[in-house]
Amino acid sequence: MQSRSAPPTLAEIKATWPPAVDVPTAGAAFGLSRSHAYELVARGEFPAKVVKFGGRYKVLTESLIRALSATD
């Protein structure tokens, strides 16, 4: 059985994450699975700002930090 790694801490995100990350990475910060994170993006319900660059979705780290800070 594979163990899940703990989600990144807010301090870790602030210190080390780039300005935008992919959906699975951002989803992990909220404790979401990859598939659920993409479902939320498709429904326009992801808890942080998602932008589309070409054919890829990116989550703005600053928006993610604001959303996580609001839940603490």
Q: Which pLDDT score is estimated for 5?
A: 74
Residues 48, 59: Cα–Cα separation, whole Å: 7
pLDDT, mean of residues 17-22: 97
Q: Do residues 28 and 40 make contact, with C-beta atoms less than 8 angstroms apart? A: no
Q: Which pLDDT score is estimated for 14?
A: 96
pLDDT in tens, 36-72: 999 999 999 999 999 998 999 999 999 999 999 986 5
Binned at pLDDT 50, 70 and 90, residue 13 comes out as very high
